Structure 1
Amino acid sequence: MFEQAFKKIDDILRKDAGVSSELDYIEQTSWLLFLKYLDALEQDRAQIAELHGQPHTFLLEKPYRWHTWATPLNASGTLDHNSALIGDDLRDFVDQKLFPYLKGFKQRADRPDTIEYKVGEIFGELKNKFQSGYNLREVIELVDTLRFNSQTEKHELSDLYEAKIRSMGNAGRNGGEYYTPRPLIRAMLSVVKPRIGETIYDGALGSAGFLCESFERLNQEAKNVANRKKLQTSTFYGQEKKPLAYVIGLMNMILHGIEAPNIIHTNTLELNNNDIQEKDRHDVILANPPFGGRERTEVQQNFPIKTSETAFLFLQHFIRKLRAGGRAGIVIKNTFLSNTDNASVSLRKLLLESCDLHTILDCPGGTFQGAGVKTVVLFFTKGSATRKVWFYQLSPGRNLGKTNPLNDADLADFITQQATFADSAQSWSIDVSGIDKKTFDLSVKNPNGNDEIVHRSPQEILDEIAALDLESAEILQGIRGLL
């Protein structure tokens, strides 16, 4: 039922002149989903207060509550079509009254770790892009069919939202910026092994996949109220620069069950690296920072190793942000291991001398949908210099692509072998004492000669063509809807 509702919402969005891309689809769905979720949360809190004989003060004033402006109800509890706003009246109310009111919560909130503050941040970043109030009315009524009452319903909604994020990433030129494959994240968690009571941080949050998967893992281990409270309030932390990614990450965490996520809308790299103190550090860092970007000169001055490459600045930030003994798993472009420029060499030296870089996972091209660049995952522990590095060359036995995405089974052998740093056809170790101290080159060179090129089967190629044809047809349909 939920899946059908999401599909219908996308179909309506394609018809609206103000909504033009997958990014717009998820943005407009997100703010409506959030208000529907907020209504469900308020109803739950009101019922709990009533059970305890306590008064409940609603977060939103009555004119701005979901069942006042979006879906007013009649005496029988169904939609009152006579009082429901529609057309220009609905669009004007949203643009001129609802959004300004909700944006004001950021100034009115006591502190940033409250749901009130998050409301203000979300509606300070987004805007309503519906040009047709009639389209907006149709989408509102579909969103109203979605329920957040049970864990099963929340889980289904979070799965559907993740699918929309994945679709958005695939449609964009830089898909990996929005979506890190969840099987890869789960494999990284199996290596880093976060524990309840530790803090987990992602300074390049994106869609919050690392924090959401971490919550899923730890929530299964939380056996008492105290542990569940820790997961809600003092475990997950993140920062994100881009407004849309921030909102998507926030909504994704909420749908996964974290009511008021500790994430901040800011440019992480604008923080002076030397200003990070012990109180600012974390036990676990998991991230897929953007690479290939360029930061301006004044931002580069915040770091001891000057470079315009965003990923290299983020890596310095993560090393500084880790507590002594803290563990990290960081995705980075594979050329980091061998580039000969001064910044790359200096950064490899810093990493090897200040951390135990115990594992490097070499990922094949196509791991990140929509981004053909090859990547590696660096696993390190802060506080002692690296003596040995264990490499694993991931070879799923097929070319990865939209019709052949990475899956958990592809990473099962890596997880098993990494537990003991075993040697195999795909894994080996090097002694750091033997590497060139001028370049600190860590190139991935499998001594077992397991570097064969995997060619796709004819059926895989046909499936890929069919998927691309379908995607093109959907885009053309959207264009026709605008004409």
Structure 2
Amino acid sequence: MDITNKLWNFCHILRHDGMDYADYVEQLTYLLFLKMADEGSIEVPADCHWRDMLTLSGKALTDYYDTALNILRGEPGILGQIFQEPISKIKNAASLKKIVEGIEEIGWTKLGKDVQGEAFEGLLERTANEGKKGAGQFFTPRPLIQAIVNVMQPNPLEGRRSKIADVACGTAGFLTVAAEWSRLHSGAVKQADKDYIRRSAYYGQELVVRPFRLGLMSMFLHDIEANISLKDSIYDGDLLGEEYDCILTNPPFGSRGSIGIPKLRNFPVETSNIQINFIQHIYEVLSEHGRAAIVLPDSALTDAKAREVWQILITENLCRVHTILKLPRGTFTPYANGVRACVVFLQKGSGTKSLWVYDSRSNVPGITKKSRPLDYGQHFAAFVEAYGSDPNGKGKRTQSERFRKFTLADIAANNYSLDFSWIEDNSLINDGELQKPITYIEDTLSELDSLNSIIASIKDLLEGN
């Protein structure tokens, strides 16, 4: 039985209630967690029992559901987190009854944690692929996450006990894949270490309550009680206790979340640019010799304020900025069309000796939603092999057509812009024929994104004066 398809088909029941896909997955999260909590080890208050809902119908069922959500929002621990600011959007009693009975028919709590986790991740991915009305802005494509996790090797038992974090975690895609990687590569684990991994190894911050809730649920289904906080990573000045050994993150693109220069932070470069501030934030919360992989728009390599940050990190020997992966065009289709993006890999506490850049974009057909989807084997496997076995990028590397090494002198000559190109890119023309109009539209949007970044830099300069 395909559990993801079974759950996804329930959403058609709710269309008459005026819900979009993201609303549906959120309501399903409430119901699935209610069932798991009631039948598991979590103590549930009176009037919040799944078994009671099975016996009800009509207005009595919708009233019971509404009451349960209001009670659970005030509970401590993960119950209160999952049901934080809940809104019941299922107003049709017959629809609610069908979904409750459908979940019961699946036998959700009898499924293994791996099946539950995979099914829920499938729902999140489908929701993301529904375009800008879906959860795409909070979702990083799984093939990209897998490639980053494979090279970063986020082991919570590495050396001493380590902390793995995503400072803009969305629906916790990086954290769930990191947990999966750890299980596959940890071998035999002592009970004390199992307890640490389950409750103390994984951390996240998210600004928006819906992805915060979905991320907690996704980690719970992977048998991890993640320490995810509903907070603003950039504008919250309280960093007490925040120090992580491995950060894997995809901060929001564009200006979403920016409310000006963060006055409560003592960043060396003042800017309202959210991506540049995330770079500075990540440096601050990394442990000494901790490592990070940051998904960024290309503008975060080239803008004036970005170059200031990179110059400080590199020339003052604060970070080893050692690798950049240039992502294929359309990697974030359909929810960030036209944005050229990359991944920056760095390690805190040692100087930059050289920068390796892997070009997975030039002369690679752009990613589309259906005909040319992002694929691990096609788009990232060669990079993972070229990166080497050392998660900090210190392993043996060989230059190739797509993988080049640049010296400190090269970086300085480039005015500390980390954008390097050496391949003649003919991907805009295919066998002498013009590409589809959408290709040119996406490129235009990318140029507009760059212009917006330049305008934001000018705004910063004016505010500084």
Of 384-393 and 289-298, more deviation after overlay is shown by 289-298
2:427 aligns with 453
Give SS of 2:368's match: coil
Asked whether 1:440 is paired with 2:416, we answer yes
Give SS of 2:272's match: coil
CA contact (8 A) 2:127 2:136 kept: no
Give SS of 2:345's match: strand
Q: Deviations over 1:269-327 (max 9, x none)?
A: 2222xx646x4211100000002125223635424222222111111111101011101
The 5 A counterparts of 1:288-307 are: 288-293=250-255, 295-297=258-260, 299-304=262-267, 305-307=269-271
1:355 aligns with 319
The structure-2 alpha-carbon separation of the partners of 1:456 and 1:228, relative to structure 1 and needing over 3 Å to count, comes to farther
Of 389-398 and 371-380, more deviation after overlay is shown by 389-398
Supply the distance in 2 between the matched residues of 1:247 and 1:166 (Cα, whole angstroms). 16
Asked whether 1:13 is paired with 2:14, we answer yes
2:297 aligns with 333
TM-score by length of 2: 0.82
1:479 aligns with none
User: Max radius of gyration: which structure?
Assistant: 1
Q: Deviations over 1:397-433 (max 9, x none)?
A: 4321112222221211101111133211111010013
The structure-2 alpha-carbon separation of the partners of 1:355 and 1:4, relative to structure 1 and needing over 3 Å to count, comes to closer
Asked whether 1:263 is paired with 2:247, we answer no
Of 182, 186, 198 in structure 2, the residue corresponding to residue 232 of structure 1 is: 198
The structure-2 alpha-carbon separation of the partners of 1:435 and 1:7, relative to structure 1 and needing over 3 Å to count, comes to closer
Asked whether 1:59 is paired with 2:43, we answer yes
2:369 aligns with 402
CA contact (8 A) 1:276 1:320 kept: no
Shift, 1:176, TM fit: 4.8
Paired AA for residue 322 in structure 1? L
The 5 A counterparts of 1:69-468 are: 70-71=53-54, 84-95=55-66, 97-105=67-75, 109=76, 117-149=77-109, 153-173=112-132, 176-195=136-155, 196=157, 197-220=161-184, 221-224=186-189, 225-258=191-224, 260-272=225-237, 276=239, 279-293=241-255, 295-297=258-260, 299-304=262-267, 305-340=269-304, 343-352=305-314, 353=316, 354-370=318-334, 371-372=336-337, 373-395=339-361, 397-403=364-370, 404-409=372-377, 410-419=379-388, 420-436=396-412, 439-446=415-422, 449-453=423-427
CA contact (8 A) 1:179 1:209 kept: yes
Identity %: 29
Q: Deviations over 1:340-367 (max 9, x none)?
A: 3xx2222122332410011000001111
Aligned residues: 410
Supply the distance in 1 between the matched residues of 2:48 and 2:270 (Cα, whole angstroms). 49
CA contact (8 A) 1:200 1:235 kept: yes
Q: Deviations over 1:254-282 (max 9, x none)?
A: 12221x2211111112222xx646x4211
Q: Deviations over 1:98-154 (max 9, x none)?
A: 12211121xxx3xxxxxxx2211222222110121111111111122233556x633
Residue segments in structure 1 that go unaligned for 5+ positions in a row? 43-57, 72-83, 110-116, 465-483
Shift, 1:85, TM fit: 1.9
Shift, 1:15, TM fit: 2.2
CA contact (8 A) 2:235 2:264 kept: no
Give SS of 1:389's match: strand
The structure-2 alpha-carbon separation of the partners of 1:363 and 1:436, relative to structure 1 and needing over 3 Å to count, comes to same
Supply the distance in 2 between the matched residues of 1:228 and 1:236 (Cα, whole angstroms). 12
Supply the distance in 1 between the matched residues of 2:21 and 2:289 (Cα, whole angstroms). 41
Supply the distance in 1 between the matched residues of 2:5 and 2:207 (Cα, whole angstroms). 33
1:51 aligns with none
Q: Deviations over 1:202-239 (max 9, x none)?
A: 11010100100000011122522233222101110011
CA contact (8 A) 2:364 2:427 kept: no
TM-score by length of 1: 0.79
Supply the distance in 2 between the matched residues of 1:245 and 1:346 (Cα, whole angstroms). 32
Supply the distance in 2 between the matched residues of 1:176 and 1:100 (Cα, whole angstroms). 28
Shift, 1:245, TM fit: 0.8
Supply the distance in 2 between the matched residues of 1:454 and 1:219 (Cα, whole angstroms). 42
Shift, 1:159, TM fit: 2.2
Supply the distance in 2 between the matched residues of 1:362 and 1:170 (Cα, whole angstroms). 22
Shift, 1:156, TM fit: 2.7
Shift, 1:338, TM fit: 1.5
Paired AA for residue 173 in structure 2? G
Shift, 1:22, TM fit: 1.6
2:446 aligns with none
Supply the distance in 2 between the matched residues of 1:314 and 1:178 (Cα, whole angstroms). 16
Shift, 1:385, TM fit: 2.0
CA contact (8 A) 1:269 1:313 kept: yes
